[in-house]
Amino acid sequence: MTTTQPAIESAEQSNTLSTEHSSHSHAEHPDLRMFGLATFLVADGMTFAGFFAAYLTFRAVNPLPAGAIYELELLLPTINTAILIASSFTFHRASKELMKANMDACRAWLLTTALMGIAFLGGQMYEYFHLPFGLTDNLFASTFYALTGFHGLHVTLGALMILIVWAQAARPGYFTPEKHFGIAAVELYWHFVDVIWVVLFGLLYLL
Amino acid sequence: MTIALPPIKSPEAHSSLQPTSWLRYFSFSLDHKVIGLQYIVCGFLFYFVGGALAGVIRTELATPISDFVSRETYNQVLTLHGTIMIFLWIVPVVNGGFGNYLIPFYVGARDMAFPRLNAVAFWMIPPAGLLLISSYFIGGAAQSGWTAYPPLSITTPAMGQIIWIVSVLLLGGSSIFGGINFIATILKFRQPGLKLLQLPMYCWAMLGTSILVVLSTPVLAGTLILLSMDIVAHTGFFNPSQGGNVVVYQHLFWFYSHPAVYIMVLPAFGLVSEILPIHARKPLFGYITMVYSILAIIVLGLVVWAHHMFTSGTPPWMRLFFTIATAFIAVPTGIKFFNWIATLWQGRIALNSAMLFSCAFILQFVFGGITGVALAQVPFDVHVHDTYFVVAHFHYIVYGGTVFVIFASIYHWYPKFTGHMANEHLGRLHLVLTVIGFNLCFGPQHWLGLNGMPRRVAEYDPQFTLMNQVSSVGALLMAISTIPFLINVIGSIWWGAKAGDNPWRALTPEWLTSSPPPVENWKGAAPLVHEPYGYGTELGVIDLKVATGSDLWRNPQ
Amino acid sequence: MRIPASIITLVTGMALVLAGFWAANYSNLLPESASINSPVYDELFKVLLAIGTVLLLGMTGLVVFSLVRFRRKDGDTLDGPAIEGNLSLELFWTVIPAVVVLFIGIYSYDIYDRMGGMADLNGHGAMHASEQLASVRTSGPQDQERIWGGIAPTGDSNVLPVEVTALQFAFIFHYPMQNITSGELHVPTGQMVELRMKANDVIHAFWVPQFRIKQDIIPGQTTVLSFTAKKSGDYPIVCAELCGPYHGGMRSHVVVQEPDGFDAWIEKNTPATLS
């Protein structure tokens, strides 16, 4: 014996060669799209974490100048928070209807969720227009608008995606209890957006 | 009687919509091997741009006065040099380049988990790079260094800085997409029967790196968004005149940028772990400890960022914490180096370009690591922070370290990429010129920093002239060293001997197929390799072709 | 008869340690030392240099030796021995570096403390020249001002306060007790000087290589740097944070004089007052 020979065993993987695509047979490989989305949401969460860290540090070490206006009212934002949290439940309801193949009910709950998201955005717009401070008035103001604005962009994107899957679900057989990546993905994203808001609300309005 | 068989066409040739041969490399290909080579070649092009910028820097510094380019231009040059080398050369090549090419082979897959995301991630890079470079010609590039500290980055011309921010955001996004792909592929896409602890070490390095990418890059994105709001919307996050805090920027920036150096070096560690066992014909020493050390580096790497801020405004207890944590990273890193030397020890070492570049890496990185442990100590850093000592340190790590590994990896996998052997004489010439040039360029810079030369300057105290000139000569040698390299990698495609499937007689899956590999990576099933480092001859076995008389009565080991 | 590997290792180890000592004591890599802090720093530098030399020479020796001794001969197609690991060896080279690193960390904590880096700059025990100046300060109440960072060794109650203003691209020094403003820093030997530093525009830094101290000067955040010069001479003050195109030219001088010479400078530069 002179050198080590590589030890090769046959794997259970597919032996067929697909001639349409450059790679593997699609029956074989696992669907990792939800895993990929979850990883992406970890990354997105870290962006918010950076903003939260900046905000908390500013609060701890940077006093606002005397006379700075930074108070926030609580009633409307609390109602908004309730709407957003409830919308996560309505989305969850939509998923349950999907798993029972009740597509009409599912679509109804999806639409409800989207409308609640839009209501949240409307509430935010109303709040923005009625706040006593603008973007550049002071450090708290800037941070407030940056944080809620970045979150608001996420909500907008989320509401749009809910409407898209709502429209897609109209096509019979497009989503089934076995195959519904679009809805599952948007649901995960929507819950993520909701959780971020709860943290945001706590830090900006309650702390 | 002969029967004419229909000619066998490759799968891709069936579809007339797919570009073939060299055109594939300019297309939106989903093939991980094509994408990997796209990353590598694109990265090298940006390396040459960054190198030219370094040439401008070293030419300016050959004389103590500012006489080559204007001072504003010089600051743009140094900003672009750092930004290009980090985000357009090293990070893409060791992660996206070698990672995309090799990881599917190592997990026994035909491609990465998300091939389309892969292509998107690559194609974000050329436009971002071109945008960045073009900013120089459109009103001036950013000139606040690759660190872009406010208030300087808020008070210098806005257009260049905003373009810089947009470009870095795109490149960070590309990096994150790649990281998601690697995590999914390594954790979830392995072929049945292949366990995590049976994977080649490069997979562990890429897994760890990708976790760092996913956790830290988004923080940089958020920071740059806030910085851009300060520039464009006149908010005051980092503007003291509006109640902001510039040190908060530094914390947020370095929270990413310290792990960034591990994002640049961990894949290189992984690549060396692949190269040494093959050319020393010995198993990688200490597989499990190597895995633990990667995990330790990941965890520690996330909590040491403020050692870049020792002379800034941080409280003493914080500086103390970061000193201790930073110094401790030397332990898992040191373990890896001792393990590599143990891999070489008693091996049968082929002195080819791949091995020699890897050995140069070991010594140069150890040098950089020693100055790193020194810099981790606050009282030491107080004197040398923001001087050429730091410039010397990180170039020993990043160039003497990672870039040398990139060269070693090119020589090692060239036969697999192209099907031809590269020329060893040109490889050794490249090595000698690069080692001499690199050490001549950056060695003296340690002394310059210790004795009073700050960094990011076009003019300096005339007492430093001789050392600066020595350094510039070294830089010139480094530039010249690219010539034999380019002749080799381009020419050997035509002149190089045919490589065959496995010229190195290696055990890892990419060598168990043709060179270059077919589109589907292997004809037939993917090989299931349980022991990627299963080299080793039993004691007492003699190779009769080279045995001498004394071998017969003396233990060959 | 072959020399046992343990003897070779022992002798090599001793040679390396000697090399480390030699490098530390006979190299001359630092500028002259002109403050009482500099020799403290230089001690640390020597220790780091010694340890670094031992490590680098050791690793270089091992790599070069391996490349020569275990070189593959032409035509040899065998593999090396199938050694996959060695737990005790791995423990050895985990524990030893951890101990060395811990030692370095604790030692440099001590050095940093001696340099004044651990001082609580805002606490009640902080010795600030400002406390003595409340009655003579002409430029507004700064005594409650927060100090964001710096180095301030404790000790002296006879401190010379100097206010430093950094701007693109110069340093301005103001002596509040003597009401002198100057572009150069003049200090006496043997007396602690406390620099209270502010920046007007972007981040700058104050660095005197011969004193081995540096501190960033941060807009919106006052920082402090204290030192005691011991050797008269003219030393450069270098800006050590990129502050714009003329960053390389942003330099000044610190002129260290014996107390008589310093007093003479003070007298010569004190603005005349109408009597």
Report whether pLDDT(B423) > 60: yes
Name chain C contacts of A2, Cβ cutoff 8 Å. Answer: 77-78
Name the neighbours of A, counting chains with at least 3 Cβ pairs within 8 A: B, C
More confident residue, A65 or B300: B300
pLDDT in tens, B437-495: 999 999 999 999 999 999 999 999 999 999 999 999 999 999 999 999 999 999 999 99
Judge if the upstream peptide bond of residue B48 is cis by omega within 30 degrees of 0.
no
| B219, B230, B507, B530, best to mutate vs chain A, most A CBs in 10 Å | B219
Please identify which residue in the block is written with the tokens 């206010």: C163
Of B331, B342, B383, the CB nearest to C97: B331
ipTM at complex level: 0.92
Report chain B's mean pLDDT, rounded to a whole number.
94
Report whether pLDDT(B230) > 70: yes
Name chain B contacts of A13, Cβ cutoff 8 Å. Answer: 108, 191-192, 525-526
Given an 8 Å threshold on Cβ–Cβ distance, is B237 in contact with A29? no
State the pLDDT confidence band at C133, using cuts at 50, 70 and 90.
Answer: very low
Instruction: Give percent above pLDDT 70 in chain B.
Output: 94
Chain A residue with CA closest to C80: the answer is A3
Please classify residue B67 by burial: count the beta carbons closer than 10 Å to its beta carbon, then call 0-12 exposed, 13-18 middle and 19+ buried.
Answer: exposed
Read off the pLDDT of each residue in B31-48 and give the average, rounded to a whole number.
97
More confident residue, A14 or C55: C55
Report whether pLDDT(A102) > 50: yes
Given an 8 Å threshold on Cβ–Cβ distance, is A6 in contact with B527? yes
Find the range with the poorest average confidence among A43-57, B164-178, B278-292, C3-17: C3-17
Chain A residue with CA closest to C76: the answer is A2
Tell me the count of A-B CB pairs closer than 8 A.
Answer: 184
Chain B residue with CA closest to A140: the answer is B237
Task: State CA B506 to chain mean position distance.
Answer: 23
Q: How far apart are CA B288 and CA B267, in angstroms?
A: 17
pLDDT in tens, B195-222: 999 999 999 999 999 999 999 999 999 9
Task: State CA C238 to chain mean position distance.
Answer: 14
β-bridge mates for residue C174, sequence order: C163, C181
What was the pLDDT predicted at B555? Answer: 54
Report whether pLDDT(B392) > 50: yes
Q: How far apart are CA B127 and CA B273, in angstroms?
A: 33
Of B184, B191, B534, the CB nearest to A13: B191
Q: How far apart are CA B16 and CA B8, in angstroms?
A: 16
| Chain A residues whose C-beta sits inside 8 Å of any chain C C-beta | 2-4
pLDDT in tens, B301-352: 999 999 999 999 888 899 999 999 998 999 999 999 999 999 999 999 999 9
Of B75, B345, B379, the CB nearest to C111: B379
Terminal CA-CA length for chain B: 58
Read off the pLDDT of each residue in C190-219 and give the average, rounded to a whole number.
96
Report whether pLDDT(A27) > 70: no
Report chain C's mean pLDDT, rounded to a whole number.
88
What was the pLDDT predicted at B552? Answer: 65
User: Residues 30-69, chain A: which have Cβ within 8 Å of B?
Assistant: 30, 32-33, 35-36, 39-40, 42-51, 53-54, 57-58, 61-62, 64-65
State the pLDDT confidence band at A5, using cuts at 50, 70 and 90.
Answer: very low
Chain C residue with CA closest to B547: the answer is C76
Of A4, A29, A139, the CB nearest to B534: A4
Read off the pLDDT of each residue in C64-71 and give the average, rounded to a whole number.
96
Instruction: Give the Cα-Cα-Cα angle B552, B557, C4 (nearest 5 degrees).
Output: 110
Report whether pLDDT(B297) > 60: yes
Chain C residue with CA closest to B358: the answer is C63
> How near does any CA of chain C get to the CA of B498, in Å?
19
Read off the pLDDT of each residue in B163-191 and give the average, rounded to a whole number.
97
Read off the pLDDT of each residue in C106-132 and give the average, rounded to a whole number.
72
Report whether pLDDT(B10) > 50: no
Given an 8 Å threshold on Cβ–Cβ distance, is B507 in contact with A6? yes
Chain A residue with CA closest to B186: the answer is A32
Instruction: Give percent above pLDDT 90 in chain A.
Output: 75
SS3 C71: strand
Q: How far is CA C240 from CA B77, B477, C36, C171, in A?
A: 19, 29, 22, 12
Of A20, A32, A57, the CB nearest to B189: A32
Quick check: B245 contacting A, CB < 8 Å?
yes
What was the pLDDT predicted at C274? Answer: 67
Report whether pLDDT(A10) > 70: no
Report whether pLDDT(A157) > 60: yes
B4 CB-near residues (< 8 Å, 6+ apart): none
Given an 8 Å threshold on Cβ–Cβ distance, is A29 in contact with B114? no
Judge if the upstream peptide bond of residue B532 is cis by omega within 30 degrees of 0.
no
What was the pLDDT predicted at B334? Answer: 95
Of B188, B229, B512, the CB nearest to A6: B512
Given an 8 Å threshold on Cβ–Cβ distance, is A4 in contact with C79? yes
Q: Nearest CA to A194 among A150, A153, A155?
A: A155
Given an 8 Å threshold on Cβ–Cβ distance, is B114 in contact with A36? yes
Of B75, B316, B385, the CB nearest to C118: B316
Report whether pLDDT(B523) > 60: yes
What was the pLDDT predicted at B105? Answer: 97
> How near does any CA of chain B get to the CA of A100, in Å?
29
> How near does any CA of chain A get to the CA of B314, in Å?
12
Report whether pLDDT(B504) > 70: yes
What was the pLDDT predicted at B3? Answer: 53
> How near does any CA of chain C get to the CA of A64, in Å?
13
pLDDT in tens, C38-47: 999 999 999 9
Long-range contacts of B525-528 (CB under 8 A, 24+ apart): B525/A10, B525/A11, B525/A13, B525/A15, B526/A11, B526/A13, B526/B108, B526/B109, B526/B110, B526/B191, B527/A6, B527/A8, B527/A9, B527/A11, B527/B108, B528/A8, B528/A9, B528/A10, B528/A11, B528/B108, B528/B191, B528/B193, B528/B194
Given an 8 Å threshold on Cβ–Cβ distance, is C94 in contact with B286? no
Tell me the count of B-C CB pairs closer than 8 A.
Answer: 295
8 A C-beta contact, residue B447 and residue B382: no
Chain C residue with CA closest to B383: the answer is C212
What was the pLDDT predicted at B18? Answer: 66
Q: Nearest CA to C127 among C116, C136, C137?
A: C116
Tell me the count of A-C CB pairs closer than 8 A.
Answer: 6
Alpha-carbon torsion angle B234, B238, B239, B242, nearest 10: 80
pLDDT in tens, A50-75: 999 999 999 998 888 878 888 888 99
Given an 8 Å threshold on Cβ–Cβ distance, is C108 in contact with B323? yes
Given an 8 Å threshold on Cβ–Cβ distance, is A13 in contact with B192? yes
Q: Nearest CA to B556 among B544, B543, B540, B545?
A: B540
Q: How far apart are CA C80 and CA C72, in angstroms?
A: 10
Report whether pLDDT(B285) > 50: yes
| pTM, rounded to two decimals | 0.92
Report whether pLDDT(C125) > 60: no
Report whether pLDDT(B4) > 90: no
Given an 8 Å threshold on Cβ–Cβ distance, is B546 in contact with C75? yes
Of C44, C59, C78, the CB nearest to B337: C59
